[in-house]
Structures are given as structure tokens and as C-alpha cells.
């Protein structure tokens, strides 16, 4: 039976048998990689993707064959099993936490209709077609079709932070025909069938039809509650499950957990293949040598050394010799290398976990390395993909400053009239005069409170406008406990500011708005709401106060408001404009406020025109626009507001520092275009001095293609300047990374989600990537979680660069899993991002230290470790190759077998581990002070194929000198008693001792940063070598096990000779001095930037280095980002219709103790389809 792709979905309510025949996915989710049965085979398969692990298994098999093995099998199997077990335990631990997370989610409780009654069921048991009940503040268990709710007209409000990162509420509404199914009996009888699209990852799109009672009703995204949403401000609602489990839109966007390996791991696989090929070549060469030796010389020994017939063949002897040398020479890549690498990575992970400078004391959150396999990759990152909300920002809007009647408020000054910087210790304004103030609101300029208290008419009118001109909904569950539900955080910040300065918005009905103005209740008649849209960039309300005066209050973009002012406001406009430029220069989001008095006759005449326009069938929008334009003329300017979209601490400084490290930062956010751009300016990712900010917002493939190509042509046409100074326009350099560096001008690219969907098509993705890489800043807004992953995958696939994704919500999980490195911010949007991440911490600013300090150190240490390890083992192993020419190519070992077994495990393991754990070329202060130190990692300069060739060449040269200098000296030298140095054991001890001393001296020269541990391990390893050497070659052990300790007395006899020590000294000097001279000349004549910083650090060693803090960067911008730009179209029409309102049980009287009736209102507008397409 073949499984075909689902073309459409059919779901029938209360019909499990009908739905069961389609075999839809259940609601069980699985993000883990293994289970009890698959763990061993899958994990071993992953581990044996490392070529070295498979290589050591082959060697182990060869060592079990006695005819060819001269080494014991346990020297290979013990470290191999150790590596496999350590890695398996680590992987099992990581997956255990994924299992726990899955189990926690799957076992959540949900109320499901079963046989006519509500029963509690685990989420995993919910099926497609079930009708479930959701209650306030509950997570939505699956993708459900909203049927009815406790709110009027089947409305409900959901928070979608887990999906798109936005914390403001969204409105969903049921189809009108099902909105009254609140009774259990009615829900039992409901048998509607939904025919809709198959499962997909499009969060903002749903197409379907409800068939019920012989009628069809169209369905779209406004009727869907998606898994991951949270029900807010709604007592209850009922929904019908359409998609469940892994077929929900959230899980379709999550992506699969990928097996991540570092670039060094991949390089190591290649190098191991090279080494294996080199090993084969040496084995073949030595086997041929053995065959020729047997033919020409070996047969002469058969007279007194008779052999079996099958061993007498020179060819067969050469065949056996080949495998023997493969075993003997395998230590060019010892298994201890991989044990040491895992130990180093574990140690580097602990350093990250223990770093107190990455600990966030406010939330008691330390940094955590959730994997140990990617540490050195942190030192090679070229692209960072960051979420915005909760990652760069705190998603908290703060009323920071304002300009009223030409006077600015918000700054504080000392007695010398100098502006004082506001810190956490600065005293806040005392709002105790206002019993209904928001205790969390902070303002520092007391002169504004004094102006309110002395009844300054301009100030009072300013805050009256803020309290009246909005679409905020209040919720007052207890007396004086006000909670505002705002369409956007910045609109809520403005109403909260008015509340604290004595103009409290308490209640609204479709016809009235009730304020509490300086201790007295005032009810305004709400006559009209002139709603916001993307073209108007402003909103207005028309109200009648208790005295019968009609007023229009308007707020919006300053460029829009200034064009509609009366002439008497010209001087005030110029003063306010200067204040707005100052506010915008500090990265604040600005807004201009104006009002207008109207006589009743003019208003009534205008209302008649409005009524006619509102009922027009054709050109309704155009007629309304004309009428709005007419009445919003001749206004009087009141002032301007400045709101700070609070960034996380240190975000601009961190971005500036990472940019200096040649790391490109792309922002991928679900927020609206203007909101994302505003944060870009606040973070200094966008600046006014950039040559161009390209906005790609085409709706069709052709439009997007044209916008991308024209933008790319503009960069190529204006940015490439020849040496002669002429401008060249060419596409020749489009795909050349060198050209990217040669671009002189600075550009930024901003692209929205629907345009990105076209740009990611195969025919356009190369143009998109070329354009993005030519730009200094890239911002993708209104993107889905899957689009985030696709952008990361695009860069991974074509740029061959290390990518890092950082986010804090479930909507970031897919890109975190896709990137080479995933970083989770423990924020306010749950722990999904942290659980899916490789590293986690509490603040974006810690990314700077993670990369520039820990990442760079880990890469530096790992590269030095690998270079030294290959040098050491080539020097150790190739001595056998040279010795083969003098032992008839018989695969006899130079060293004692115990020395071969202990060299990498005991004699040289700890010094190289100490270097790999503690070494540092420069300290952490200088690593942060000079971000350019990070660039060698991005360019793979410290360990690559060239560096591998150089270190192996040094190892070969050392092995050659270590063998031939003692051999040559001993051949013509006699002992003090006149006898010759003719025995192999003396040569072996001399070579082994020289080797240990040479590699110990070399690691001392390679170490940049000495600690007590380094001194102990280097000196201790030498001491241990001599202790073990004399013990292994003592008479006592020989007497116990003669066959296992054949070198009896060799160390005592040879090392007691002065001439042997002179040979050791001569060999050590000849091996070490040339490398030392080359290193000295390189640093002196061709110093790298790291060498220069290290020299500077050494010059300042006597002084305690003071960490240089980057100044807080301010964007010097004249661009004013008003709050209105970040809105969708408003919901004034919904407010005035009264559809959303229900009577509250809390009532108030018009007295200081009790105020007018209060209601629970909706938080958000029914979502419109239009996107912001143009930027002012």
C-alpha cells in the first residue's frame, strides 16, 4: 500500500469513526532523537561517521591476528570503548531532557467531549475531530477551529508569542452560525464537516469550508486557534481539532533535530583519510623493502634459521609485514587524540558554565553549555541570525520624554544646569498624589508633575489627548486595579503615562469614554473614531466634553501632523521639530499630538457626509479618506511624545563589537516592518549615513525579482570604484567574496515575509544571497519560523560559513536547530528555545563574551592542541619507519612495548591537556577590546590543511633527527670501558628519552600562558617517565615476568654514561633550535595582529589591565519612528459598533472612592491582510 500526499483534509465533528479512516496524526509530539531500542544502533552509526572511529575498529581486528601483530589488542580497545561510552552517555543525557520536555507537554490536561460529556484527557490522546474546551490562560492543545466563546459574537483573544514572538493579543472570531453553540446539548448535536488545506507551515494562512445544515461557510485564519497560542481575557471557548501533533503548524515549523559537527571535526575526517593513505603508502613501501630484503639477503639466514614452507615465500613475508607495519605505525592517529579532544571540549564547556561575567543575577540564570561538541565552532562564526522581540529587546515600551508647548520634559539637570545621566540610582518622581497610578511606571523629571499640579492648560490638554485618543481596552477586576489591553505596547505606554500624570482612562462604552481627571470623573461622549491605517499614519477621535464642546484629538507621524496645522502653530512646530530630532537621535520612537475645536453645526454637517460615505457601495474608502482629510486640517499643535522600546542591556555595544569582529548580524523577526526598522536604528544596525536602505516588499515573483535585481545593480554600479577613480558597473564581481569586502558604501536590506517567500525560490535565492551579503545590515520582518530556518539554510548551503542563531521563543526553534550553533535566551516566551539550543544564557550581551572570549579561546586552544598532537605523534611513530631500513624491514619496534603503550597515555598526555585547557594568547579584556583578534578563526588560519602539513613535516624532521643522530654517533663511539654501543636496547632507551625531552621542551615553547598546572604537568610527566623507565627495566620486574620485561638493566646501563646524555642534549638542541629561530624571526619581522596585541599586553603586565567599556552608542538620526508605523489597521469601527463589549460586574460611582461602570474590552483588532509596504 502506497502512502499518498494529503491533498485536502476532511474532518467531521463528533465522528471518531469517520475521521479514523483517514489515519490522521494523533496529538503526540516527539522532539527526541532516540528511544530505548534505537539508541544503540543510531548513536553508534552517528559516532562511526567519524572516520577515525571506524579506522580504529579495523586496527583492533588486525591486532587480534597473532601472525601480524606485535602489539597487544588492549592498547586499542580500551581507549576506543572509552570514547564511545563517554560520547554515548553525553548524547543520552541530552536526549533524556528532550524526552522529559516531550512527556511534560504530552501529559498536559485538556477537556474533551467524549460521549456527550466533558472529560479530562491528556494532550497526547486528543484526536482530529474532537471538540475541546479551553479556559483562560490555557495553552491551545492543537490547531482548532473556534466554534464559540464566552465573549460576544464568538470572539476570543490569544497571545501568539510562541509562534511569532509578539506578546500583544490577537483577536479571533467564530463563524457566526456556530457562535451560539455554547450549550453542551448544542455541541453534542453539532456534526459539521470541515474541508480544508492539508497540513502546512504557513502560520498566517488557512483556507477551508465548513459544511453544516446544507450550507457552506468559508473559513480563514481568523477562525483558527493554533497550537502554542495562549487563551487570554476569555473565560472559555470551544473548538474543533483540525490538525494535531506533528501536523500542527507550530510543529511543522520546528524542523528536525540535526546531528551537528564542527568544521574541525569535518577537517579531521579528511586528515584521517590522508593519514590513512600515507600509512598505506609507508606500509607498501616497507613491505616491498621486506620482500626485496628476503630475496637478496634473508635467504642466507635459512641455514641456521629454518622456516615453514608457507613463510618461506618473500612475497607472503612482505604481505604479512605490510599489516604488521600498519599496526605499528597506527599511532600517527592514536585513539588517545579523540579521548583528549572530548576532555578538552568538556573542560571548555565547564569554563562557560562557570563564567560569572555571563551570570544574570536578576533572574539567577547562569550561562549553560548544553552541548560539549561545538565549543571551538564558537570561534569561527561569520553570520548571526537573531530574533528581535525578547532577544534584542525586552518588549517593554517606556514613556521616556515629551515636548509640550515648546518645553521638553524627561531630562534632569544639576545646579550648574548640566544634564545628569539617568541611572538605576536616580530618584524617580513621586506619584503618591495619584492613588490609581501604575506603581511600575518611572519618570525622573519632577517639573512635569509640577506643571500638571498647577493646572497648566497645555500640559493638561496634552495628557487628556493621550487618555482619549487610542483604542486601548481597560480591565478592572477589582477597585482601582487597572489593566490595559493595548493593540501595541507603545500605545499602552502612552495611556499608562497619562494615567500616572492624573488623567486615568477608566472605562469606555460604544458611545462614551470615562476618565478620572485629577481626582474627578469626567465622561466624554465619543462621537467618532478616525482610525489608523498605513497611508494615514495617524488616528483621531472626536469627543464632546460635559460642557458641550466638541473637540478633535489627533496623534500620528510628525511629518503628517505638521502638514495639517493652523498657521498660529508654525513657531511651536519649529521648536517641537528640533525636540523631535533630538529624541530621534537617541533612538526614541516619536509621535506628534494636535487638537482642534469644532462648532456643532460644522460637525453635524460633516457627520452627514460621513454617513453617506460609509454607506456607499463603491469608492467607500476613497470618500472616507477625503472626509478624514477635510476635518483633520487647521489643528493646533500640542507637543510630541518619545517612547523608548527598551533594548536589553548592552545590545548596541554588543552589535558594534561583533561587527568589528567581522560578524554579520541578520535580524529575522515576526514583527511588522516599521517596528523592526525602528529597533534597527536603535541598535545602530541602521543609520542615516547609510547610502541606501533597500525595502523589498513585492507581492509577486516578478516584483520581488525586479526589486532585488535593481538593488543589486545599484550597489554594483555605485560601490565599485576603480583605482583611477572611475565608477565601474559590472556583474563580474557579484559572486566574488573579495568584491563584498571591496564595497565602499554601506547598504541595508529590509525584506518582509511574503516577499521573502518568493525570494527563497530556487531561481531567486542566489540574487537574494548576493544582495544580502553586499549589505552591511539585513532585516527580515513578518517571517514565519520555517522561513527563518530557510534563510539560515540558504547561507549554510552557499556561503560555507559558520552560522549562529539566537532566539528566545518557540518560533525560533527551527532556526536554532538549523544553524551550526543554536543559542537560546532564557526570556519571557517559555523555555522551548533554550531546550532546543546548544548554549543558553539570559541576555543578548553575553553573546559577545561567548564568541570573542570563550569561542576564540576554544578555537585557539583546539588548534594548538591538534598541531602539537600531530607533531608529537609523527615524531614518535616515524622512528619505526627509519629503523626499518636497519632491521631488514621486519616490523621490529624500536621502543620497548611498554613505552609504546604509555607514551600517549602517561608520558605526554597531561602537558598537552593543560595547554589545551588553559592556554591563551591574550587575556579576556584584550579579547573584547580588540575584536579583530576574532578574524583568524573565521578564516581558518590557525589549523587547516597547510598547518597540518607543516606540523607533520616538523614531526617527520624531528623523528629523522631523533633516530639518525644517536645512530650515527653510536656507530663511531665507545663507552668509557672501551666497548661499543652496539646493542639495540641502548639505542632504544636513548631515542625514547630524547623523544620525551624534545616534545616536553617543544610544548613549553608552544605554551603562551603558564599556570601552576602547566608547570606541574610538564615537570611531573618527565619525572614520571624516568620513574617508570627505571621501574620497568629493573631486575625485580624481570624476575617476576621475564617475557614482558625484556629490557632488564638497559636504562641503568645506558643512562649512566655521560656520552649518552651528551647525545641526548645534542639531539634536543638540533631538534628544537631551528623551530625556535623561525618563530622568533616570524614574530619580529612579520608579526600578526595577535602578536602585536600580545606584545602590548606583556608591556602592560605590571599594571592591572582596566577593561575598556564601549561607550553607549547613540544613533544620530533625524528619522522619527512614530508608534503609528508599527500598528496594523485599527479597530475603532469595532469599538463604536459595541460588538465586543459586555457588562462588567465591577461598578463605580463618580466619587474619589467609586467611579463609573467598567467593562472588559477586547485587546486587539480583527487581523487585516495588508502589510506595511512603504516607509516614510
What 969-974 contacts at long range (C-beta under 8 Å, 24+ apart), as own/partner pairs, is 969/1063, 969/1066, 970/1063, 973/1059
Candidate list 387, 645, 671, 919, residue with the active-site label: 387
SS3 call for 825: strand
3-state secondary structure of 219: strand
Q: Which three cell numbers stand for residue 723?
A: 583605482
* DSSP string computed for 1024-1059: HHHHHHHHHTSHHHHHH-TTT---TTHHHHHTT-HH
Helices (H), 69-196: 74-106, 161-164, 184-189
Positive or negative, the Cα torsion across 700, 702, 707, 712?
positive
Residue tagged 553570520 (cell numbers) = 383
Contacts of 245 (CB under 8 A, 6+ apart): 25, 26, 27, 28, 29, 142, 251
Please name which of 782, 806, 827 lies closest in space to residue 658, comparing C-alpha atoms. 806
String of DSSP letters for 1107-1147: P-PPPPP---------GGGG--S--HHHHHHTTT-EE-S--
C-alpha cell at 1104: 592591572
Cα three-residue angle 51-56-58, rounded to 5 degrees: 100
CB 392 within 8 Å of CB 827: no
Partnered with residue 642 across adjacent β-strands are 401, 590
CB of 921 closer than 8 Å to CB of 863? no
Among left, alpha and beta (phi > 0; psi -120 to 50; other), residue 153 is left
Cβ–Cβ under 8 Å, residues 490 and 397: yes
Picking from 493, 497, 543, the residue whose alpha carbon sits closest to that of residue 1123 is 493
Gyration radius of the chain over CA positions = 38
Dig out the grid coordinates for 754 from the structure.
511574503
d(CA 647, CA 644): 8
| SS3 assignment, position 474 | strand
- Between β-strands 520-530 and 538-544, what pairing exists: parallel, antiparallel or unpaired? antiparallel
Measured between alpha carbons, how far is residue 423 from residues 402, 527, 792 in Å? 19, 44, 38
The whole-angstrom separation of Cα 693 and Cα 853 is 33
Contacts of 844 (CB under 8 A, 6+ apart): 386, 391, 392, 648, 650, 651, 654, 806, 825
Q: Sign (positive/negative) of CA torsion 405, 409, 414, 417?
A: negative
- In terms of DSSP bridges, do strands 589-598 and 692-696 run parallel, antiparallel, or are they unpaired? unpaired
Cβ atoms of residues 1081 and 1023 within 8 Å: no
Residues pairing with 144 in the sheet: 225, 241
What CA–CA distances, in Å, run from 1003 to 61, 1018, 1081?
Answer: 34, 8, 19
Catalytic residue check, 921:
no
Distance CA 623, CA 643 (A): 34
Which residues are registered as beta bridge partners of 544? 525, 550
Three cell numbers, residue 1142: 459586555
Q: Which residues are catalytic?
A: 387
Amino acid at each position: 500500500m502506497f502512502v499518498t500526499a494529503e491533498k485536502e483534509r476532511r474532518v467531521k465533528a463528533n465522528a471518531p469513526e469517520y475521521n479514523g479512516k483517514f489515519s490522521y496524526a494523533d496529538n503526540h509530539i516527539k522532539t527526541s532523537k532516540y528511544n530505548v531500542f534505537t539508541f544503540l544502533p543510531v548513536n553508534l552509526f552517528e559516532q562511526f561517521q567519524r572516520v577515525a572511529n571506524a579506522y580504529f575498529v579495523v586496527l583492533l581486528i588486525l591486532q587480534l591476528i597473532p601472525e601480524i601483530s606485535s602489539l597487544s589488542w588492549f592498547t586499542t580497545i580500551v581507549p576506543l570503548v572509552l570514547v564511545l561510552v563517554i560520547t554515548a552517555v553525553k548524547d543520552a543525557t541530552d536526549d533524556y531532557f528532550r524526552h522529559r520536555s516531550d512527556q511534560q507537554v504530552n501529559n498536559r490536561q485538556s477537556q474533551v467531549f467524549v460521549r456527550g460529556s466533558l472529560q479530562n484527557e491528556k494532550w497526547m490522546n486528543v484526536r482530529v475531530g474532537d471538540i475541546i474546551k479551553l479556559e483562560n490562560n490555557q495553552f491551545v492543545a492543537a490547531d482548532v477551529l473556534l466554534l464559540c466563546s464566552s465573549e460576544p459574537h464568538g470572539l476570543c483573544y490569544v497571545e501568539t508569542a510562541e509562534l511569532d514572538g509578539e506578546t500583544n493579543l490577537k483577536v479571533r472570531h467564530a463563524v457566526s452560525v456556530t457562535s451560539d453553540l455554547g450549550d453542551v446539548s448544542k455541541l453534542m448535536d453539532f456534526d459539521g464537516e470541515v474541508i480544508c488545506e492539508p497540513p502546512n507551515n504557513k502560520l498566517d494562512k488557512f483556507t477551508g469550508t465548513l459544511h453544516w445544515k446544507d450550507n457552506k461557510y468559508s473559513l480563514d485564519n481568523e477562525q483558527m486557534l493554533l497550537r502554542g497560542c495562549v487563551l487570554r481575557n476569555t473565560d472559555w471557548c470551544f473548538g474543533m481539532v483540525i490538525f494535531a501533533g506533528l501536523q500542527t503548524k507550530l510543529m511543522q515549523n520546528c524542523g528536525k533535530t540535526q546531528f551537528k559537527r564542527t568544521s574541525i571535526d569535518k577537517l579531521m575526517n579528511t586528515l584521517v583519510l590522508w593519514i590513512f593513505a600515507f600509512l598505506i603508502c609507508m606500509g607498501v613501501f616497507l613491505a616491498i623493502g621486506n620482500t626485496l630484503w628476503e630475496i637478496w639477503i634473508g635467504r642466507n639466514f635459512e641455514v641456521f634459521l629454518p622456516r615453514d614452507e608457507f613463510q618461506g615465500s618473500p612475497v607472503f613475508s612482505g604481505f604479512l609485514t605490510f599489516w604488521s607495519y600498519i599496526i605499528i605505525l597506527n599511532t600517527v592517529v592514536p585513539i588517545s587524540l579523540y579521548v583528549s579532544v572530548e576532555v578538552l571540549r568538556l573542560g571548555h564547556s565547564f569554563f562557560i558554565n562557570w563564567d560569572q561575567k555571563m551570570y544574570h543575577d536578576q533572574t539567577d540564570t547562569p550561562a549553560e553549555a548544553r552541548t560539549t561538541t561545538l565549543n571551538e565552532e564558537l570561534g569561527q562564526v561569520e553570520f548571526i541570525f537573531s530574533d528581535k522581540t525578547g532577544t534584542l529587546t525586552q518588549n517593554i515600551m517606556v514613556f521616556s520624554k515629551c515636548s509640550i508647548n515648546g518645553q521638553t520634559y524627561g531630562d534632569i539637570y544639576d545646579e550648574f544646569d548640566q544634564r545628569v545621566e539617568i541611572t538605576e540610582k536616580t530618584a524617580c518622581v513621586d506619584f503618591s498624589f495619584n492613588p490609581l497610578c501604575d506603581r511600575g511606571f518611572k519618570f525622573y523629571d519632577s517639573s512635569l508633575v509640577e506643571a500638571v499640579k498647577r493646572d497648566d492648560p497645555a500640559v493638561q490638554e496634552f495628557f487628556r489627548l493621550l487618555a482619549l485618543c487610542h483604542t486601548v481596552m481597560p480591565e478592572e477586576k477589582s477597585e482601582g486595579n487597572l489593566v490595559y489591553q493595548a493593540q501595541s505596547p507603545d500605545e499602552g505606554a502612552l495611556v499608562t503615562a497619562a494615567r500616572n500624570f492624573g488623567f486615568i482612562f477608566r472605562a469606555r462604552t460604544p458611545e462614551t469614554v470615562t476618565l478620572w481627571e485629577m481626582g474627578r470623573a469626567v465622561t466624554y461622549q465619543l462621537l467618532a473614531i478616525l482610525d489608523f491605517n498605513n497611508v494615514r499614519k495617524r488616528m483621531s477621535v472626536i469627543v464632546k466634553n460635559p460642557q458641550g464642546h466638541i473637540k478633535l484629538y489627533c496623534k500620528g507621524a510628525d511629518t503628517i501632523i505638521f502638514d495639517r496645522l493652523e498657521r498660529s502653530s508654525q513657531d511651536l512646530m519649529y521648536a517641537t521639530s528640533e525636540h523631535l530630532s533630538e529624541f530621534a537621535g537617541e533612538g526614541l520612537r516619536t509621535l506628534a499630538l494636535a487638537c482642534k475645536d469644532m462648532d456643532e453645526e460644522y460637525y453635524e454637517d460633516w457627520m452627514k457626509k460621513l454617513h453617506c460615505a460609509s454607506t456607499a457601495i463603491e469608492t467607500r474608502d476613497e470618500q472616507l479618506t477625503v472626509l478624514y482629510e477635510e476635518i483633520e486640517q487647521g489643528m493646533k499643535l500640542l507637543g510630541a511624545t518619545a517612547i523608548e522600546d527598551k533594548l536589553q542591556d548592552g545590545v548596541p555595544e554588543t552589535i558594534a563589537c561583533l561587527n568589528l569582529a567581522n560578524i554579520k548580524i541578520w535580524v529575522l523577526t515576526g514583527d511588522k516592518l516599521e517596528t523592526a526598522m525602528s529597533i534597527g536604528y536603535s541598535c545602530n544596525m541602521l543609520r542615516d549615513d547609510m547610502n541606501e536602505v533597500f525595502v523589498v516588499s513585492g507581492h509577486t515573483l516578478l516584483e520581488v525579482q525586479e526589486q532585488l535585481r535593481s538593488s543589486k545593480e545599484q550597489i554594483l554600479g555605485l560601490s565599485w570604484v576603480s583605482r583611477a577613480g572611475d565608477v565601474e558597473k559590472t556583474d563580474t564581481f557579484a559572486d566574488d567574496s573579495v568584491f563584498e569586502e571591496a564595497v565602499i558604501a554601506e547598504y541595508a536590506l529590509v525584506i518582509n515575509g511574503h516577499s521573502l517567500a518568493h525570494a527563497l525560490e530556487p531561481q531567486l535565492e542566489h540574487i537574494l544571497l548576493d544582495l544580502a551579503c553586499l549589505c552591511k545590515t539585513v532585516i527580515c520582518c513578518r517571517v514565519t519560523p520555517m522561513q527563518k530556518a530557510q534563510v539560515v539554510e540558504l547561507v549554510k548551503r552557499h556561503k560555507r560559513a559558520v552560522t549562529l542563531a539566537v532566539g528566545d521563543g518557540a518560533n525560533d526553534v527551527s532556526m536554532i536547530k538549523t544553524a551550526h550553533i543554536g543559542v537560546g535566551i532564557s526570556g519571557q516566551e517559555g523555555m522551548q528555545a533554550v531546550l532546543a539550543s546548544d548554549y543558553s544564557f539570559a541576555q543578548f550581551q553575553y553573546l559577545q563574551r561567548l564568541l570573542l572570549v570563550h569561542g576564540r579561546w576554544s578555537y585557539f586552544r583546539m588548534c594548538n592542541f591538534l598541531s602539537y598532537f600531530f607533531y608529537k605523534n609523527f615524531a614518535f611513530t616515524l622512528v619505526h619507519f627509519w629503523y626499518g631500513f636497519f632491521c631488514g624491514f621486519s616490523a621490529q619496534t624500536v621502543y620497548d612495548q611498554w613505552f609504546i603503550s604509555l607514551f600517549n597515555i602517561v608520558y605526554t598526555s597531561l602537558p598537552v591537556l593543560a595547554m589545551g585547557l588553559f592556554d591563551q594568547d591574550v587575556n579576556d579584556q584584550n579579547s573584547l577590546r580588540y575584536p579583530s583578534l576574532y578574524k583568524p578563526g573565521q578564516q581558518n588560519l590557525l589549523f587547516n590543511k597547510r598547518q597540518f602539513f607543516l606540523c607533520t613535516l616538523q614531526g617527520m624532521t624531528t623523528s629523522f633527527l631523533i633516530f639518525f643522530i644517536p645512530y650515527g654517533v653510536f656507530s663511531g663511539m665507545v663507552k668509557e670501558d672501551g666497548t661499543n654501543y652496539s646493542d639495540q636496547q641502548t639505542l632504544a632507551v636513548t631515542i625514547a628519552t630524547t623523544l620525551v625531552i624534545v616534545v616536553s621542551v617543544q610544548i613549553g615553547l608552544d605554551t603562551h600562558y603558564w599556570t601552576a598546572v602547566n608547570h606541574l604537568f610538564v615537570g611531573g610527566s618527565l619525572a614520571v617517565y624516568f620513574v617508570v623507565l627505571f621501574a620497568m627495566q629493573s631486575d625485580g620486574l624481570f624476575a617476576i615476568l621475564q617475557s614482558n620485561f625484556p629490557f632488564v638493566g638497559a636504562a641503568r646501563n645506558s643512562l649512566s654514561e655521560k656520552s649518552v646524555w651528551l647525545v641526548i642534549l645534542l639531539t634536543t638542541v638540533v631538534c628544537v633550535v631551528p623551530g625556535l629561530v623561525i618563530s622568533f624571526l616570524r614574530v619580529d619581522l612579520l608579526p600578526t595582529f595577535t602578536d602585536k596585541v600580545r606584545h602590548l599586553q606583556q608591556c602592560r603586565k605590571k599594571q592591572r589591565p582596566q577593561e575598556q567599556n564601549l561607550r553607549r552608542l547613540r544613533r544620530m538620526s533625524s528619522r522619527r519612528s512614530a508608534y503609528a508605523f508599527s500598528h496594523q489597521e485599527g479597530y475603532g469601527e469595532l469599538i463604536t459598533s459595541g460588538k465586543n463589549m459586555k457588562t462588567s460586574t465591577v461598578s463605580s460611582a463618580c466619587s474619589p472612592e467609586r467611579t463609573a461602570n467598567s467593562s472588559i474590552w477586547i485587546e486587539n483588532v480583527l487581523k487585516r491582510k495588508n502589510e506595511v509596504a512603504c516607509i516614510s
